[in-house]
Amino acid sequence: MSVTSLAEIGALLGAELIGADARVSGVAALEDAGPSDLTLCFDWRRIPDLEKTRAAGVILPRRATGLHRAAPCAALLVEEPRLALARVLRHFHPEPVEAGCVREGARVEAGASVGARTIVATGAVIESGAGVGDDCRIGPNAVVASGCTLGNRVILGPGAVIGSCGFGFVPRRAGVVKIPQVGRVAIEDDVEIGANTTVDRATLGETRIGRGTKIDNLVQVGHNVSIGENVLIAAQVGLSGSVKIEDGAILGGQVGVADHVVIGAGAQVGAKSGVGTHVPPGARVAGYPAVEVKHWLENAFLWRRMRKLLKRLGGEGSRP
């Protein structure tokens, strides 16, 4: 077990230490931490738990002026608490260094390529003609289909499917005609794709996910979608065919995006939003249909006022 002083952790994080130094051997939640643990508190809403913590030290945001006075232990003040948490967790829980391997029950078909130090977990399939780069982790029962390529240091969660057929059909009176999906998927370096997420191959050309993008569990990426670099996509998002997500955009959980829509660089889309038109770079939108956040909040406020007015006039839904 790794044991480190708060002063050493402060040096690692570039943090200011307030209070006495102490030795810590792990990280725990406020309510679970013991005398040998480091914990964290992001804001004033956790004051009751902070005041009762038994931790040896707590990571606090520097911008929350005075928050450390509620702590019964030493405090480390940092600029970015979540980044500090990531660094501390890596310190106490370093990822094991494993040699690349294809584990029992996995299948790498003839004509597929797998890079150095890549791990292909039990039940995973790399189909013929697929290419996987170096230092990748292909989770249990994940699939990389024929013609699809993964860069280096790509992580696929359990059950992720790269290269499933796109949803292409022509409705006719005599029945529905399927459009063959003959394109590919290209995933760049340092992408992470969560459990049971599907990335459809293009009808023609390619579906592409840019470097450093992180995609949560249970996300649907449609055919011919283009996702830029360092994009964050939360769980249960659905991207229709030919959507374009530019660099640095963030999509909250359960966002739905209509086909051929462009979400600009750095834009943010609130959870459960339905996006049917282009979103400008840097915009913040929410709601169904998605509008600027300030307009969505105004609409929500006006709707509540309207409900109260209707009740005053004799009950909801009654006429004056």
Pairing of strands 74-78, 57-61: parallel
Write out the two tokens for 213. Answer: 């993008």
The CA distance from 142 to 125, in Å, is: 6
Q: What is the DSSP annotation of 166-217?
A: P--EEEETTEEEEPP---EEEE-TT-EE-TT-EEEPPSSSEEEE-TT-EE-S
Among candidates 178, 187, 186, which has minimal Cα distance to 213?
Answer: 187
Q: Which residues have C-beta within 8 Å of that of residue 301, sequence separation ≥ 6? A: none
Closest CA to 145 of 123, 164, 158: 164
- Measured N-to-C along each axis, helices 6-13 and 81-92 cross at an angle, to the nearest 10 degrees, of 120
**What is the Cα Rg of the chain in Å?**
25
Structure token pair of residue 241? 């065919």
Compute the distance between CA of residue 20 and CA of residue 71 in angstroms, rounded to an integer: 12
Cross-strand pairs, 146: none
Residue 93 annotated to the active site: no
* Residue 93 exposed, middle or buried by CB count within 10 Å (0-12, 13-18, 19+): exposed
Helices and strands: H and E segment counts in the chain: 4, 37
Of 68, 223, 278, 295, the catalytic one is: 223
Closest CA relative to residue 101, chosen from 120, 88, 128, 77: 120
Residues constituting the chain: 320
Other C-beta atoms within 10 Å of 20: how many?
A: 10
Catalytic residues: 223
